[in-house]
Amino acid sequence: MQLTNILEYLEKTAPEVPDKVAYASEEYSVTFSEVYRNSRAIGSFLAARGYYREPVVVFMYKQPATVVSFYGVVYAGCAYVPIDEEMPKHRIELIFENLKPRAVICDERTKPMVEAFEFGFDGEVFTYAEMVKTEPDDEALAHIRSEQIDVDPIYMVFTSGSTGVPKGVAACHRSVIDYIENLTDVLGITRDTVFGNQTPLYFDACLKELYSTIKYGATTWLIPHNLFMFPIKLVEFLNEHKINTLCWVVSALTMISAFKTFDKVKPLYLHTIAFGSEVFPIKQFNLWKDTLPEAKFINLYGPTEGTGMCCFYRADRRFEEDEVIPIGGPFHNTEILLLKDDNTLAAQGEEGELCIRGTSVTLGYYNNPEKTAECFVQNPLNTHYPEIIYRTGDIAKRNERGELIFVSRKDYQIKHMGHRIELGEIEAVVNRFDEIKICCCIFDDEKKKIVLYYVGEIDKPALVTRMKEKLPRYMLPNVTEKLEQMPFTANGKIDRTGLKKSYIAGRK
Amino acid sequence: MDELLEILEELHPEVDFNTCTRLVDDKIIDSFDIVTIITEVNNTFDVAIPAEEIIPENFNSAQALYALIERLEEEG
């Protein structure tokens, strides 16, 4: 029968490889039978308390049990919302305001943090340890399953919003199944795959490892975040655990190649390297390619709203320094439309907004019909029946071979260390401080620095300390500059272009 | 040392680099900062920090990092 629930991957695989390690960290690991048993225990626990068809927050540090909790929430017929201990409280508060969750799953370390939330969360707080003591209730779980269909949401992940309020992208079984089927086909995932996970569990990026692992009976190592600062230790970790497949953001890969790490130590088992979220500097890409000439390199492209990735390109050769690695073409069962300003299709070589059509388009932003309506829109090429496409805001074009090339953004969204950031969100947060008169964020594309200019009665150290309380780590400006007054253009807008020019001239 | 402190304070004006000895352990600096520091040190002091020296012990304090730079300058 047709696959309609993401948990069917686990139910097929667990009996085949019960004692194999599914997810591992430096501290401990869980086998497939443990994942199966414990996620059903969590599902039963939630079901017995009446949680159904609603968001359940998973607030745990990055560890194998976090993944088990995700599946547990789905077993209960609910949608999981991953929150991270490193998220500032203010951001968590905004997310809770949007979701109005009734329950949070914690571990021993995060439980006191939830209890200390100043905004006063009055729902129930459960710990993973107490939940897994529940005996799985087969009958209750079977009943829930019989009522589930493949357009029911399984998660909400929050992404940067330009007004200062993060947006929760909701995705359903069908989109994730479509994604995993096609992604694993392109990457060539098998039971022998050993993933080294880099991306945080609170973004869609980790879907690649988590769901591919239960589909194939592969293994995923959760790599300690700290190692991504220390290239030799990182490569040694890959070798120690015989990791052969990576799906990393580009900055994590270049951290290794840029410091001549390969002269000292080489990855011994790697054969598949997927990368994305940023443009790969060609010099660094070629270093990887030369070090691992037999390995498969695949460029992935896609927004959270398109269930992770929607395009891929097999980078099977060296590139010249002036070339750009294409984002290629869509996965099977997805179509990419390049729409010009007049909503007609761009011809080859012409630029257009990259729009996604297909099952990979997610359900929209949770509890946010206004923002959803802005970019989940009727396909303008189809006037005959309802058909939603997602407008990414990315400008792209097709080269002479028909391959898609990323050109730029339509707005002030940037990619920084693999994270998607709205510069407007940083500005909105800073502008809310009483001492601030006005501020403006620019991005130095070449040096990859977020630069904040501000006018106000606060010195730099104090402002940075305040920002740390409100913004996630990866959104903190890398350079903060106080100005006597903000430059304006003739028609009264902040002169962003001028600021950027003078910043770049100043650093040279 | 002043030049090094300038580089570090540019990145994190809110941190007292004269006293802090747990920059890595307390997650005050991240991988972006490390990449920036290595690049800036290379520009300012003309020393390339090799991969085998990119370890927590060398980045936990301004003093440790300065000692590394001096050692690399002597070896250079």
The fourth-level CATH superfamily of domain A415-507 is ANL, C-terminal domain (3.30.300.30)
Distance CA A362, CA A236 (A): 38
Distance from CA of A281 to the nearest CA of B (A): 15
Find out whether A346 and A352 touch, Cβ atoms under 8 Å.
Answer: yes
| Unique residue bearing structure tokens 């520091």 | B37
CATH code, residues A223-411:
3.40.50.12780
Is pLDDT at A508 greater than 70 in this prediction? no
Instruction: List beta partners, residue A488.
Output: A494
Distance CA A357, CA A339 (A): 12
Give the pLDDT confidence of A168-183 residue by residue, as tens digits: 999 999 999 999 999 9
What does DSSP say about strands A21-24 and A29-31: parallel, antiparallel, or unpaired?
Answer: antiparallel
Is pLDDT at A255 greater than 80 in this prediction? yes
B51 and A228: CB-CB below 8 Å? no
Distance from CA of B43 to the nearest CA of A (A): 12
Fold adopted by A1-170:
Rossmann fold (3.40.50)
B59 and A462: CB-CB below 8 Å? no
Distance CA A210, CA A171 (A): 15
Q: Provide the pLDDT confidence category of residue A359 given band limits of 50, 70 and 90.
A: very high
Q: Do A1-170 and A223-411 show the same overall fold?
A: yes
Average pLDDT for residues B33-61, to the nearest whole number? 92
> How many structural domains compose chain B?
1
Average pLDDT for residues A460-477, to the nearest whole number? 92
Q: Please tell me which of the candidates A226, A264, A479 has its beta carbon nearest to residue B51.
A: A264
Q: The domain spanning residue B39 has which CATH number?
A: 1.10.1200.10
Q: Judging by beta carbons within 10 Å of its beta carbon (0-12, 13-18, 19+), is residue B39 exposed, middle or buried?
A: middle
pLDDT at A19: 98
Question: H or E element: which one contains B59?
Answer: helix B56-59
Listed residue (A59, A213, A92, A238) closest to A158, CA to CA: A92
Is pLDDT at A209 greater than 90 in this prediction? yes
Q: Please tell me which of the candidates A449, A464, A473 has its beta carbon nearest to residue B30.
A: A473
Q: Which residues of chain A from 211 to 230 reach within 8 Å of chain B, CB to CB? A: 226, 228-230
Listed residue (A79, A39, A80) closest to A59, CA to CA: A80
Which residues on A lie below 8 Å from B11 (Cβ)? 478
Give the pLDDT confidence of A22-60 residue by residue, as tens digits: 999 999 999 999 999 999 999 999 999 999 999 999 999
Going from N- to C-terminal start, the domains of chain A cover 1-170, 223-411, 415-507
A231 and B54: CB-CB below 8 Å? yes
Distance CA A484, CA A208 (A): 48
Provide the whole-model pTM.
0.93
Listed residue (A341, A331, A351, A334) closest to A276, CA to CA: A331
A461 and B36: CB-CB below 8 Å? no
Give the pLDDT confidence of B11-30 residue by residue, as tens digits: 899 999 999 999 999 989 98
B32 and A264: CB-CB below 8 Å? no
B32 and A258: CB-CB below 8 Å? no
Dihedral pair phi/psi, residue A189, rounded to 5°: -70, 140
Give the pLDDT confidence of A302-329 residue by residue, as tens digits: 999 999 999 999 999 889 988 899 999 9
A436: left (phi over 0), alpha (psi -120 to 50) or beta: beta
Distance from CA of A177 to the nearest CA of B (A): 33
Beta-carbon contacts of residue B9 (< 8 Å; ≥ 6 apart): B15, B17
A232 touches chain B (CB under 8 A): yes
Encode burial over A311-330: b for 16+ CB neighbours within 10 A, e otherwise: bbbebeeebeeeeebbbbbb
| Unique residue bearing structure tokens 């039963």 | A44
Is pLDDT at A128 greater than 80 in this prediction? yes
Distance CA A467, CA B35 (A): 22
Which residues on B lie below 8 Å from A465 (Cβ)? 14
B48: containing domain:
2-75
Q: What does the mean pLDDT of chain A come to?
A: 95
